[in-house]
Structure 1
Amino acid sequence: MSRGPKAAALAALALCATLALTGCNGDTDAGAAGSTPGGTPSATPAPSSAPSSAPVGGPPAAPAKPTPKSTPAASASTTASAGMPEKAAPSAPAPGCTAKAAISPNEIAVYRYTPEGGFSSLIVKHGHWGCPGPGGGAHFDTVGEETFIPIAEDAKITAVTPIVASTVSKPITLHELTEWLIAHPDKGLVFHYDVGKSGAIETLGQEEYTV
């Protein structure tokens, strides 16, 4: 009988300890389970703080158009403002001017003189009258290679400046002409001429409008 109450007290202490442990574990589990509603884990990732690429308050802005590259202007004023020298405009052909006329059958540019072969010959080039140049006046365009044309000793010759000091045709001798050609070779003065039956020049006249 002496051992009964002591044993009962020990049993009661053990029961209290068991109940206390059970209650603590229950509170802990309940607290853990109630940390998030509906039992969902609380480790939900937070929303990203990075700014959105779309602008707030309206539709996306249209991309800016690229600035077009500048191209050289064709106007003379732009060229002058850029410090570039202006090119002179080509002279317009005179009314009725034919740029490529047929070769004149009786006009030549006289360059030199030669006595080879025992008779006098003029070294010449054939050609035609072209359109006036920038300075005005007619221009004789020569074509082909130099050639020889014999001239009669008694040919009728007329000349103007610079062969003679006159703008009006003056008669000269063949000797006067050849002396001038020897002193002033390759001038290319223009003459009209006529050939006789012998094949030599019988008349030779310097063109008054030679330029």
Structure 2
Amino acid sequence: MSAVRSRRRARGQVALAALGVCAVLGLTACQGGDDAAGAPGGGAGSVSTPVTAPTPVPVPTGATAAPSAMPTKPPGKPATKPGATATPAKKPGPTATAACDHTMPIAPDLIALYRYTPEGGDHNLIVKHGNWKCAGPDGGGAPFAPVGTETFIPIAETAKITATAPIVSGSASKPVTLHELIAWVTAHPDSGLPFRYHLGAGGFIDTLDEVYVP
């Protein structure tokens, strides 16, 4: 019996010693594993601490993210400086005069002077009636257009007569006598110079004014 008890006691001591060794080895292994995990290049099987991702910062509602870069201004014409005045459009020029109408009515007070004749004992001017080819107070420099056949109109000895170039010098009207007029017409027949006239008593011309045509 004593021997059996001795063997049992010895087995118990061995078991306790083995448990102690295991405890020491386990503690050392745990410490070594922690050091291996924290050190760079830790071996496989080491325990690592999980890395937690940073929590995203919430963006306030309604906020707009700032652009990464300012937008580039598209190419184009430079803006007009303040106060700059646009060039006004040109006004349309005057309308061109319509083509002359040669069938327009004969003017009642316009004649073209051609010659002089004393036939019948009176001073007679041989003329043609007509009108200006284009509208205007005195034709506006447009040529006088006589129509029809030549006729004669008596002129009073005391008629008031004015003349301009080429009968007298210059474009201003100047008074001339009937004899001065007759002398010029005789020297320059068929001139066709335009005159405005008025008939007085007895059908004689009492006023005769040359119309200047440049």
For residues 120 and 100 of structure 2, the distance between their equivalents in structure 1, rounded to whole angstroms, comes to: 41
Matches of residues 69-88 of structure 1 in structure 2 within 5 Å? none
Answer whether contact 1:120 1:152 (CA < 8 A) is retained.
yes
Structure 1 counterpart of 2:164 = 160
Matches of residues 187-198 of structure 1 in structure 2 within 5 Å? 187-198=191-202
Q: Is 2:186 the partner of 1:186?
A: no
For residues 157 and 178 of structure 2, the distance between their equivalents in structure 1, rounded to whole angstroms, comes to: 6
- Count the aligned residue pairs: 116
Measured after TM superposition, the shift of residue 96 of structure 1 is 8.6
For residues 147 and 99 of structure 1, the distance between their equivalents in structure 2, rounded to whole angstroms, comes to: 20
Q: Secondary structure at the match of 1:145?
A: coil
User: Residues 140-179 of structure 1, C-alpha deviation per residue, up to 9 Å, x if partnerless?
Assistant: 1111100010000000000000000121000000000000
Answer whether contact 1:100 1:130 (CA < 8 A) is retained.
no
For residues 103 and 128 of structure 1, the distance between their equivalents in structure 2, rounded to whole angstroms, comes to: 5
RMSD over aligned CA atoms reads 2.2
Structure 2 counterpart of 1:206 = 210
Structure 2 counterpart of 1:64 = none
Residues 175/95 of structure 1: CA separation in 2 closer, same or farther (3 Å cut): same
Greater C-alpha radius of gyration:
2
Structure 1 counterpart of 2:97 = 94
Measured after TM superposition, the shift of residue 101 of structure 1 is 1.9
For residues 124 and 193 of structure 2, the distance between their equivalents in structure 1, rounded to whole angstroms, comes to: 16
For residues 106 and 195 of structure 2, the distance between their equivalents in structure 1, rounded to whole angstroms, comes to: 14
Q: Unaligned regions of 5+ residues in structure 2, if any?
A: 1-94
Structure 2 counterpart of 1:83 = none
Q: Secondary structure at the match of 2:120?
A: helix
Answer whether contact 1:93 1:131 (CA < 8 A) is retained.
no
TM-score by length of 2: 0.51
For residues 118 and 131 of structure 1, the distance between their equivalents in structure 2, rounded to whole angstroms, comes to: 38
AA in 1 matched with 2:122: F
Measured after TM superposition, the shift of residue 199 of structure 1 is 0.6
AA in 2 matched with 1:109: A
For residues 159 and 167 of structure 1, the distance between their equivalents in structure 2, rounded to whole angstroms, comes to: 9
Q: Secondary structure at the match of 1:185?
A: coil
Residues 109/93 of structure 1: CA separation in 2 closer, same or farther (3 Å cut): farther
Q: Unaligned regions of 5+ residues in structure 1, if any?
A: 1-91
Structure 2 counterpart of 1:148 = 152
Measured after TM superposition, the shift of residue 99 of structure 1 is 4.8
Matches of residues 1-211 of structure 1 in structure 2 within 5 Å? 94-95=97-98, 98-131=101-134, 137-208=141-212, 210=213
TM-score by length of 1: 0.51
For residues 130 and 143 of structure 2, the distance between their equivalents in structure 1, rounded to whole angstroms, comes to: 10
